[in-house]
Structure 1
Amino acid sequence: MRAPSTVTPESAERSDPPGSSARQRFAAGSIDLAVVAAPLVVGWLLLGSVGAGQADRAVFGGAALATAVALWVWNRGHRDGLRGQSIGKARFGLLVRDRATGGPLGVRAALGTRRGAETLTVAGALADGFTPRAVDGSRSAVRRRRLWGLLCLTAILVLAVLAGIAVGARPLELGQVVHAVFTPAHTETDQLVQTLRIPRTLLGVLVGVTLGVAGALIQGHTRNPLADSGLLGLNAGAAFLVVLGIHLWGLTAPGQYLWLAFAGTLIASVVVFAFSSAGGGGPLTLVLAGAAVSFFLQALTNALVLLDPKSLDGYRFWVVGSLAGRGPDILWQVLPFALVGLALACANTPSLNMLGLGDDLARGLGTNVLASRIVGIAAITLLVGAATAAAGPIAFVGLVAPHVVRTVTGPDYRWLVPYAGIVGAIMMLVADVVGRVVARPGELQVGIVLAVLGAPFFIALVRRRKLVGL
């Protein structure tokens, strides 16, 4: 039992505990300050560089402030209060604790004045008996945290929807946005919001949800943490039929080759599943069949593009992935398929937990592996087909979203699938909003923004989590 120190609380923060230096504490504090200041700086740069209107200032300013506060509470409160290490302290091997008890400060104390706290090295704290506060691992506590997580993600999604409606290539006042949403008339701004921004935002939600859920299903069925729709050849099938339609019939608008993209996804999935079944039907043969079909279709697509420059012009705009130029008609055409795919995904999630144990063990526990694979492939085909037909091949959503939520939900697909859908929708909307404002009066396609932001984020996630196991 550690004896209480005679140092008064008022002098605790001013003292130099053995093993830590003022330089280390200053460097760690600078990193923690940078973590909180980063979203504020990004928000300020966005507002200062795009000729922001009133709605833009409200959206980006509010988002930057909320993100900074959330990071401060998480880093200074939860990390410091429960584990004793903020990001900065972890970088320099420091740890903060309560001087009187020798244990963690607690969240409230860490967010407060920190009277009676001391900072020392990790080695010194552990040698002195410091133990991080254990997280409640009971079933009720885990379920409660997951429900709170779903609620928070839903709230963020609602805010992202509002941002998608309020922010665009043309700056608007908040009053104009409110009038266009609740009491629309025939003014130019009302028509802009009603006919362009609202359908585009709803389509972004649909595409994000379908890609997030499909990514979780694909990774579950293949037991491959790097699997996405491209690995199973679904994007390649859609691309080949789109290029074929442009080459043979001169199609130019997204609504014209919508069904070709969907049919290409369907055909590719049937071929991949047939080859996989012939090879035993396991996750490895599914991946190998998908890779083979994908390479073959990509070769055919490249041949058509090289032979016909007109096909190249139409294909290069579709293959980037975009929500621009998609009207309400496209949303209503793909919505039924997406809803059926989501229903099949919900039915498929319980068996995914069993398949994660291995096909043989899943059969021993009463799971019909073949039926589960068929339902899963059907759900993936409908979801990816709807998203790809509507917006083109979008990268990183189906890959990153399941990894992000797996750090919270674990491998339980009953929670992972809905989490991944909501996170996918948030990713799509945020990328779309950023793409609208960074290149005003033009815009960047959502596929480009997701690739620019998603690649470094995923690399950081992999380095930190070591690819969380399936």
Structure 2
Amino acid sequence: MRLSDLASGEAVTARADHTRVQVPRGSAPVPLRVAAAIVDLALVALPVLVGALVVHSLRDANGGGVVDRIVFGGFALAVAIAVLVWNRGFAEGRRGASTGMTWFGLIARGPDGLPLGVRRSLLFAQRQVVRRATALDEGFAEIEVDLTPAKLRLRRIAGVVVLLVILAVLLLASVAVGSRPLSFGEIWHGLLPPYDTTPTEADLIVRELRTPRTLLGLVTGIALGLAGGLIQGHTRNPLADPGILGVSAGAACAVVLAITFLGVTSAIGYIWFALAGALITSVAVFGLSSVGGGSPSPVSLVLGGAAVAAFLSAVTSAVVLFDQTTLDAYRFWIVGSVAGRGLEILVPLLPFFALGIVLALVNAPGLNVLSLGEEVARSLGTSVALNRILGITAITLLAGAATAACGPIAFIGLAVPHIARAFTGPDYRWLLPCSALVGAVMLIVCDILGRVAARPGELQVGIVLALVGSPFFIALVRRRKLVTL
């Protein structure tokens, strides 16, 4: 029952518990609307402001170049547009509340009292901004997205296409940006054949330094994204990452032992010991979790990985603390970086990456069945043990090769599957390829940012990932309920 009071502009609404509350009518107060608009404007202006500061820092006097400024200015503008579309179109158009409106308890609705929809909201159609209590009392309801199989497939395909376009642009940007500014002509001359017999300095920078580094970042990002999606599927743990199997700890321990007792000092030597350590550790974890017969369960995998990783970390710390030479060499590997590593590192590891990618994609249908539960999977004729072995082997090859090539790079395997799942859903046939693309995008973006964050030096990609990625992932967790695995 609702009793209107035309004089005060409020209504008394009777609740089911027979209490009465005063519900305001009409538009929300101007100060609240202005405050919400300021918050929304700040969200769009922030990336533009940061981009402007970066572009200013890359002026010619500081060693920057025109290409550097175009890349980072364009990136900042693209982020600002994406924020505007998401906040104004999807958040306000479907839920009726942008970020600013959510903070101040406001709702934007059309003349019919319902949400505007994405298109009308982006076109700034006529709307009324009221208090949330007012909108709900007058029958406001968010737009529920009812995805038919055809629409879901279209959204997945669109997501893949967008990721491929973004990745292609980022690959070019990765070649273009660095401590030595290059013009567009120098970049194209270095990339496109025919190659001169007497290459210029710019040609050598493009071909010998930036292109191999970009390719290594691409392959490593793909591997870590795939490994993250696989490990979260097999352990059914949304907080799992490839390191949970002890891959990083095993690789680190093997590198330290090789430096201390065998005198290995080159990156070429590191990769084989790191890869061997990762493989041996994964086999040990898999064996421990299978003790007693049967296939390893998600819980036993996590517990076995945590125990082995703790033991190996203790061994690594003990050796490093007692040998200064080992510490000096080890600290450059442990930070996680694609800098200073070229094709001589990538090419020997390509077979491991390729085999891991193939096994991961083959394992995707089995993961879909395993997500229904082991008992259901067995009743459908799926071999749980075979799928577990296939998945763990793929994770070991992908994460082990990535760790051997670049050192431990955290966060990608944890965050990427959640980002991909936002538009692919739980189907691993789509989730795994999209996780690979998102992983490559994230790693290359952070590598590019690291090159200009501390000019004329640079920040390693592992550090940038922690600084940039962690707040982003926290915001992701707060804004959406993560899918139960």
TM range (shorter): over 0.9
**Runs of 4+ that moved beyond 3 A:** none
Matched, 1:105 2:131: no
Alignment of 1:279-428 (within 5 A): 279=292, 280=294, 281-428=296-443
1:67 is matched with 79
Please give the alpha-carbon distance, in whole angstroms, between the structure 2 residues aligned to 1:284 and 1:362.
Answer: 18
1:216 is matched with 229
CA apart distance, 1:169: 1.7
Please give the alpha-carbon distance, in whole angstroms, between the structure 2 residues aligned to 1:341 and 1:87.
Answer: 41
Q: Tell me the amino acid that sits aligned with residue 298 of structure 1.
A: S
Please give the alpha-carbon distance, in whole angstroms, between the structure 2 residues aligned to 1:318 and 1:59.
Answer: 29
Q: Tell me the amino acid that sits aligned with residue 141 of structure 2.
A: T
Matched positions, count: 453
1:129 aligned residue (132, 139, 149): 139
Q: Tell me the amino acid that sits aligned with residue 124 of structure 1.
A: T
Structure 1 residues 459 and 70: CA distance shift in structure 2, 3 A? closer
Q: Tell me the amino acid that sits aligned with residue 338 of structure 2.
A: L
Please give the alpha-carbon distance, in whole angstroms, between the structure 1 residues aligned to 2:478 and 2:85.
Answer: 24
Please give the alpha-carbon distance, in whole angstroms, between the structure 2 residues aligned to 1:452 and 1:106.
Answer: 35
Please give the alpha-carbon distance, in whole angstroms, between the structure 1 residues aligned to 2:79 and 2:471.
Answer: 19
1:237 is matched with 250
Please give the alpha-carbon distance, in whole angstroms, between the structure 2 residues aligned to 1:19 and 1:240.
Answer: 64
Say if 2:25 and 2:134, in contact at 8 Å, map to a contact too.
Answer: no
Matched, 1:82 2:90: no
CA apart distance, 1:134: 3.0
| Percent of matched pairs sharing the same residue | 55
Alignment of 1:12-161 (within 5 A): 18=26, 20-50=28-58, 51=62, 52-99=64-111, 101-114=112-125, 116-161=126-171
Q: Tell me the amino acid that sits aligned with residue 290 of structure 2.
A: S
Q: Cα deviations across residues 245-289 of structure 1 (Å, max 9, x unaligned)? A: 111222222112111111001000100001111155111011111
1:270 is matched with 283
1:167 aligned residue (159, 173, 177): 177
Please give the alpha-carbon distance, in whole angstroms, between the structure 2 residues aligned to 1:406 and 1:285.
Answer: 25
CA apart distance, 1:19: 5.3
- What secondary structure does 2:243 align onto? coil
Q: Cα deviations across residues 153-183 of structure 1 (Å, max 9, x unaligned)? A: 1111111111100001222222221221125
Q: Tell me the amino acid that sits aligned with residue 367 of structure 2.
A: L
Q: Which runs of 5+ in 1 are unaligned?
A: 1-15
CA apart distance, 1:189: 0.6
Q: Tell me the amino acid that sits aligned with residue 287 of structure 1.
A: V
- TM-score after normalising by structure 1: 0.93
Please give the alpha-carbon distance, in whole angstroms, between the structure 2 residues aligned to 1:249 and 1:23.
Answer: 70
Structure 1 residues 385 and 405: CA distance shift in structure 2, 3 A? same
Please give the alpha-carbon distance, in whole angstroms, between the structure 2 residues aligned to 1:440 and 1:253.
Answer: 26
Say if 1:17 and 1:118, in contact at 8 Å, map to a contact too.
Answer: no
2:189 is matched with 179
CA apart distance, 1:113: 4.0
Say if 2:187 and 2:206, in contact at 8 Å, map to a contact too.
Answer: yes
CA apart distance, 1:107: 2.9
Deviates more, 1:219-228 or 1:125-134: 125-134
Q: Tell me the amino acid that sits aligned with residue 195 of structure 1.
A: E
Q: Tell me the amino acid that sits aligned with residue 327 of structure 2.
A: L
Please give the alpha-carbon distance, in whole angstroms, between the structure 2 residues aligned to 1:82 and 1:139.
Answer: 21
Matched, 1:205 2:218: yes
Deviates more, 1:64-73 or 1:176-185: 176-185
Q: Cα deviations across residues 394-443 of structure 1 (Å, max 9, x unaligned)? A: 01010110111122222221111111111110111011001111111111
Please give the alpha-carbon distance, in whole angstroms, between the structure 1 residues aligned to 2:283 and 2:227.
Answer: 16
Q: Tell me the amino acid that sits aligned with residue 47 of structure 1.
A: V
Please give the alpha-carbon distance, in whole angstroms, between the structure 2 residues aligned to 1:263 and 1:109.
Answer: 57
Q: Cα deviations across residues 76-116 of structure 1 (Å, max 9, x unaligned)? A: 122222322111112211111111x22222333222242x3
Q: Tell me the amino acid that sits aligned with residue 88 of structure 2.
A: R
Alignment of 1:431-446 (within 5 A): 431-446=446-461
- TM-score after normalising by structure 2: 0.90
CA apart distance, 1:392: 0.6
Say if 2:108 and 2:127, in contact at 8 Å, map to a contact too.
Answer: yes
Please give the alpha-carbon distance, in whole angstroms, between the structure 1 residues aligned to 2:117 and 2:147.
Answer: 18
Say if 2:450 and 2:464, in contact at 8 Å, map to a contact too.
Answer: yes
- What secondary structure does 2:108 align onto? strand
1:13 is matched with none
Say if 2:107 and 2:135, in contact at 8 Å, map to a contact too.
Answer: yes
Please give the alpha-carbon distance, in whole angstroms, between the structure 2 residues aligned to 1:95 and 1:459.
Answer: 25
Q: Which runs of 5+ in 2 are unaligned?
A: 1-23
Please give the alpha-carbon distance, in whole angstroms, between the structure 2 residues aligned to 1:337 and 1:106.
Answer: 47
- What secondary structure does 1:278 align onto? coil
Please give the alpha-carbon distance, in whole angstroms, between the structure 2 residues aligned to 1:72 and 1:455.
Answer: 22
- What secondary structure does 1:95 align onto? strand
Matched, 1:189 2:184: no
CA apart distance, 1:17: 6.6
